[in-house]
Chains A and B, each alone.
Chain A
Amino acid sequence: MTSESPGTDAHSAQEADLLAQALALVGQEQYHEVGEFPVERGYIWTSCASVENGNPLFWDDQVAEALTDGPIAPPTMVSVWFRPHNWAPGRTEVALPLQVHFDLKALFNLPEAVMTDNTIEFHAPVRLGDVLRTHQVLRSVSGPKTTKLGRGRFWVIDVVYANQDAELVAVESYTGFGYRRTGEGSGE
């Protein structure tokens, strides 16, 4: 359940300005990135183990050869392959996945965020050795909303994944809610 949040004229003008800055990014391709490592089996098995997934497609090479022309990754793992290492040589700041999401949190000065919806459309299978390419596209940003979590905004971000041969692998769409917990000062 959400509700519109009333505000003063000055505050409303500031909110409108921030919203205009965000809306200017809608539809633009941002953060073209290449995965930091090739798709590999260790993570596939760790993921399957985490949910006790015994699908022979991921454990039996003969089944994989017969059905998918060789081993593939579980489709829902697609976001795993572009999440950055928590540290890498020469990196001075923690790299963040879904950077557009964090950009919006910073722009609107919203310290907390949750993902409320997530849609994934699966295209070509992800295969061992693939190095995925991604980019992010902001699709929409809402006006101020108040939910049981606090006051903030909803936004929708697409992540487009392709493999090294430019085949479309997946399109993932996230709906996030960036917010400030009820009772906290605005800091603005």
Chain B
Amino acid sequence: MASLTPTLLFDDVHPGDTLPQLRYEVTATAVVLGALATRDWRPMHHDKDFAVNRNGTQDIFLNTPNQAAWFERYLTDWTGPHGRLGRVTFRMHGSVFPNDLMTFSAVVEGTEVDEVGCGFVTLAVTLAVDGDTKTTCAARIAVPRTVDDNPWARRGDQWRPSPSTS
């Protein structure tokens, strides 16, 4: 069994911290696998002729739910399995195509202990290709405050995935 000791604690995280970059070279297989894994049968994610001649794009491209899975993987590579996503907001600026080298990077924008004692980290995450930002992601993820803390144990009103607006 993998270790159950948290690999990242709330107090170890500070605004301005940067995450290690993740690089991945996209293939047509990766685009199609991502579409099928998310049950997205739309042709622009597997049919180059449709993508080019109907959508006006250069090739098939990664779909949004698969990009979400990439962002989740990137964030939880950093937090370890104790990390629990609260909220993510993606903005697509451009498409990601086969032969693109994706680079994920992130910076910690803030930390907060919410009203019920859960430690959240907010991050600005970027997916770029050749220096061009393709997708940005504002993420809010809970991490343990102590070695005995587990954000996944929170239920009902003890789990507040979005920041308070009051």
A binds B: yes
Q: What is the interface of chain A, defined by CB distance below 8 A to chain B?
A: 43, 46-53, 55-57, 60, 62-63, 66-68, 74-77, 79-80, 83, 86, 112, 114-125, 149, 181
CB distance from B142 to the nearest CB of A (A): 10
Instruction: State in angstroms the CA–CA spacing of A123 and B34 once bound together.
Output: 24
Question: What are 21 inter-chain pairs, A to B, with CB distance below 8 A?
Answer: A49-B37, A51-B66, A56-B81, A57-B81, A67-B81, A67-B152, A74-B72, A75-B85, A76-B65, A76-B85, A76-B88, A79-B38, A83-B38, A112-B54, A115-B64, A119-B87, A119-B89, A121-B87, A121-B161, A122-B86, A149-B56
CB distance from A164 to the nearest CB of B (A): 17
- B interface, size bucket: 35 or more
Instruction: State in angstroms the CA–CA spacing of A112 and B40 once bound together.
Output: 16
> Which of B40, B41, B69 is within 8 Å of A53, CB to CB?
B69
Within 8 A of A (CB), among B134-160: 150, 152, 155, 159
Q: Find the residue from A50, A56, A60 having the highest chain B CB count within 10 A.
A: A50
A to B contact number (C-beta, < 8 Å): 117
Q: Find the residue from A68, A122, A124 having the highest chain B CB count within 10 A.
A: A122
Please tell me if the beta carbons of B39 and A55 are within 8 angstroms of each other in the complex: no
Please tell me if the beta carbons of B90 and A118 are within 8 angstroms of each other in the complex: yes
Instruction: State in angstroms the CA–CA spacing of A118 and B91 once bound together.
Output: 7
Please tell me if the beta carbons of A115 and B162 are within 8 angstroms of each other in the complex: no
Q: What is the interface of chain B, defined by CB distance below 8 A to chain A?
A: 1-2, 4, 24, 30, 33-34, 36-41, 54-56, 64-66, 68-73, 76-77, 81-82, 84-92, 150, 152, 155, 159, 161-162
Please tell me if the beta carbons of A50 and B88 are within 8 angstroms of each other in the complex: no
Instruction: State in angstroms the CA–CA spacing of A49 and B33 once bound together.
Output: 9
Assuming the A-B contacts A74-B72, A116-B91, are A63 and B38 also in contact, with contact meaning beta carbons closer than 8 angstroms in the complex? Answer: no
Please tell me if the beta carbons of B37 and A120 are within 8 angstroms of each other in the complex: no
Please tell me if the beta carbons of B73 and A68 are within 8 angstroms of each other in the complex: no
Assuming the A-B contacts A51-B70, A63-B81, are A46 and B152 also in contact, with contact meaning beta carbons closer than 8 angstroms in the complex? Answer: no
Q: Which residues of B are found within 8 Å of A53, using beta-carbon distances?
A: 69, 72-73, 76
Q: Find the residue from B73, B84, B92 having the highest chain A CB count within 10 A.
A: B73
Please tell me if the beta carbons of B56 and A181 are within 8 angstroms of each other in the complex: yes
> Which of B55, B77, B81 is within 8 Å of A112, CB to CB?
B55
Assuming the A-B contacts A79-B38, A122-B85, are A51 and B69 also in contact, with contact meaning beta carbons closer than 8 angstroms in the complex? Answer: yes
CB distance from A75 to the nearest CB of B (A): 5
Please tell me if the beta carbons of A60 and B65 are within 8 angstroms of each other in the complex: no
Q: Which residues of A are found within 8 Å of B86, using beta-carbon distances?
A: 121-122
Q: Which residues of B are found within 8 Å of A49, using beta-carbon distances?
A: 33, 37
Q: Which residues of A are found within 8 Å of B55, using beta-carbon distances?
A: 112
Please tell me if the beta carbons of B1 and A51 are within 8 angstroms of each other in the complex: no
Assuming the A-B contacts A51-B66, A56-B81, are A80 and B38 also in contact, with contact meaning beta carbons closer than 8 angstroms in the complex? Answer: yes
